[in-house]
Structure 1
Amino acid sequence: MGRARWHRKDFFLLAYIPAITLIAWCLPERLWTVVCNAAARLSMALHRSRTRGHCRKLTEILGERRTSLDVDEILKCYLAKNHLARVQCMQCYAPGGWSPHLRLEGREHIEHALAAGKGAVLWIAPMASKDLITKMALHQAGYPVSHLSRFDHGFSISLWGARLFNPLWTRIEERFLAERLVMSPSVQVSPLRWLIKRLRENRVVSLAANREGRKYPLTLPFLSGTIQLAEGAPTLAMSTGAALLPVFTVREPDGTYITKVEPTLHPATKGNTAKEVESLTKQYVQLLEFYALHYPCAYQGWRLSGV
């Protein structure tokens, strides 16, 4: 987890954060998407070589699979949704905050898990609205969630940039959490112990699906390419007996954000922890494929470096 003290993007953030705050506070919500789409198109036009490389990568990942969008449009959505999530976050600081239309589907799966008495592990999928809106939906539904996070979650990935800029992001998210347990370069084990304690108390915990957390994350086929996923969520579920619930957040055409809690994942084989974890991860990847193809504009797991 070695990080540079500063990253060149930190200097960009000095202008970027005030700009998105002005957009959030001064423009009506219906124009946020328009502005973010325009910013995405401008970025693609200014970085043509990188844009061509990303489009090639998307084409390779999709292979023979088809979505409702071509690769140029998927890339534009990928960029625009990143901007939009940050605009939404900064709007929460405005007088009156931000109150989107939210709906939680599949809460019966959480209730069933809690009725079993061993807690629930929510495995949050890499969708555009996974960070803030997923937490809002669970909070609105009355679930106090303990979330495992990283010190570089937010605007910056550098050591000092994370300290300066990332609290602007995490302070908003923490309004909708019971607690945020942070993994940092110097603190790795204790947050995981607290997650285990919360599950033993029959609570709800959440982890984002990513490729961090292990030196060698699990690599599995994904569409016509591969995907790397850390095994933290399924390993935690297997070690505690908690239910493992995939969670996806998407936006409907009418503007409503729907957080979908999928049924509990069960390993195809028993008796070998490594094979159980791999089986659960494979099932999760199948769900990721479904959502990536059906909601390509919302899926943020394409792993486009440099974006």
Structure 2
Amino acid sequence: MRVCESPARDALRLVAWYPLRFLVERLPPRLGFAVLRLLGRLHAAASRGRRGRALAAVSRLRPDLPGPTRRKQALAAFETHYANQLSIFVFPRITPDNFAQVLEIEGREHLDAALAAGRGAVLPIGHFGPTQLPLTVLGLVGYPMLQIGYLNEAGLSFIGRHVAVRLRRRYEGRIPARIVPPGPGTRQALAHLRAGGVVMTTLDDAPGQPRFGRHATFAFPGGALCAPLGPARLALSSGAALCPAFLVPGKTAPYRLRLEAPLAPPPGADKDAAALALSTELLARYAAVVRDDPGWWHLLEAHGAPGVPNISNVSNVP
């Protein structure tokens, strides 16, 4: 995504990272996320053009949805943008005792079984909803977490680099997980898995993110999607369990992390063929999640919406 820096964008950054940050980080976690989603709704109300592009993008992904549902998903694109970009303000208030206010965890037994067997686990998760929330909560409840993540500073203004990125690094340093870059961090991720740890990595590339590692093209809502083979290759190389992980709407909390049983590679396949087969299965399951709630998908932007200003211009790759 090409980002146009401007004084207005810098002013928005200053508002977000100073008065708004101080407010949100003092609220209970559930209320903090509610405030961030409210900002998205206010932005949608004030941006008829961008709201229209969001609706058009949802319609391209899900032309079968009735009109009211498409409008609801278009609004969700704005809510998701703010909840994802600024969720880091909420994280300091989340604890092992109150995380259920914002995140339900389903299928935890699959992760526990993999770790009990000494295998380690790879959790591939998409750019869908507030992507670092599962990383934060799993780390808080005691799982040895490592994230392969990427901070994109290309083209940022002075305030973008010295306010948004500098402060984000500080807040990410408080997440109970180690964050390593793609590429050089792969060896650290392999060692972490072989020691019985958990690695959270990406199912798809963030908008504007450079591609790292091998990719393939998969069928997906709205057209073919080029996605990384890295999660499957990481699991195959380390012997770790490959457990699909999806962030979806919750029942008693705003969000739910759904952990599924590990995928088994096809018998007799070499590493390349096995990685492709596993990735095809992962992307098919992810496609179903995106079809259910297209407004939560960050790559909706690639379909012409929502055009929401990226307050931090930071791509986090969980």
TM range (shorter): 0.7 to 0.9
Once the two structures are overlaid, the 10-residue window that deviates more, 49-58 or 282-291, is 49-58
| Pairing of 1:67-78 with structure 2 (within 5 A) | 70-78=69-77
| Counterpart in the other structure of 2:314 | none
How many Å separate the matches in 2 of 1:97 and 1:35? 22
The match for 2:107 is 106
CA distance in structure 2 between the partners assigned to 1:235 and 1:213 by the alignment: 15
TM-superposed CA distance for 1:292, in Å, is: 2.3
Question: For residues 107 and 265 of structure 2, what CA distance do their matches in structure 1 show?
Answer: 20
* Paired residues for 1:292-303 under 5 Å: 292-296=290-294, 298-303=296-301
The residue number in structure 2 matching 1:210 is: 204
String of CA shifts for 1:125-164, please: whole Å, max 9, x gaps.
2231321x202331243211111111239xx973863564
Deviations 1:259-282 (A, max 9, x none): 221111233464233332222222
* Residue matched to 2:119: 118
Q: Secondary structure at the match of 1:63?
A: coil
Alignment of 1:93-172 (within 5 A): 99-101=98-100, 102-131=103-132, 133-152=133-152, 158=156, 161-162=160-161, 164-172=163-171
> Per-residue displacement from partner, 1:243-296 (whole Å, max 9, x unpaired)?
111112334243264322111123346423333222222211222122223345
- Aligned-partner Cα distance in 1 for 2:273–2:143: 31
Match of 2:289 in 1: 291
Task: Write the distance in 1 (CA, Å) between the matches of 2:212 and 2:85.
Answer: 28
How many residue pairs get matched?
Answer: 296
Q: 1:232 to 1:16 in 2, by over 3 A?
A: same
Counterpart check, 1:199 vs 2:193: yes
SS in 2 for 1:150: coil
Identify the residue that residue 13 of structure 2 maps to in structure 1. 13
Indicate yes or no: 2:78 matched with 1:79.
yes
Most deviating of 295-304 and 100-109: 295-304
Q: Which residue of 2 aligns with 1:238?
A: 236
Looking at both structures, which has the greater relative contact order when contacts are Cα pairs under 8 Å and sequence separation is at least 6?
2
- Give the 3 Å change call, closer, same or farther, for CA 270–166 of structure 1 in structure 2: farther
1:220 matched to which residue of 2?
218
Q: Which residue pairs with 2:313 in the alignment?
A: none
Q: State the distance in 1 between where 2:199 and 2:29 align.
A: 31
SS at match of 1:249: strand
| Structure 2 runs not aligned, ≥5 long | 309-318
Q: Using a 3 Å threshold, how does the CA distance of structure 1 residues 199 and 25 change in structure 2: closer, same or farther?
A: closer
How far, CA to CA, are the matches of 2:67 and 2:281 in structure 1? 24
Structure 1 stretches of 4+ moved >6 Å: 26-30, 94-98
Rounded to whole Å, the distance in 2 between the matches of 1:85 and 1:118 is: 31
Distance in 2 separating the partners of 1:158 and 1:206: 27
1:21 touches 1:90 (CA, 8 Å); kept in 2?
Answer: yes
Percent identical: 22
Unmatched tracts of structure 1, length 5 or more:
none
Q: Which amino acid aligns with 1:241?
A: G
Work out the CA distance in 2 between the residues paired with 1:265 and 1:163. Answer: 42
Instruction: Please say if residues 148 and 185 of structure 2, whose CA atoms lie closer than 8 Å, have aligned partners that are also in contact.
Output: yes
Q: In 1, distance between residues paired with 2:171 and 2:276?
A: 34
- The yes-or-no answer on 1:275 pairing with 2:273 is yes
Amino acid at match of 1:78: A
- Relative to the length of structure 1, the TM-score reads 0.78
Give 1:77's aligned amino acid: A
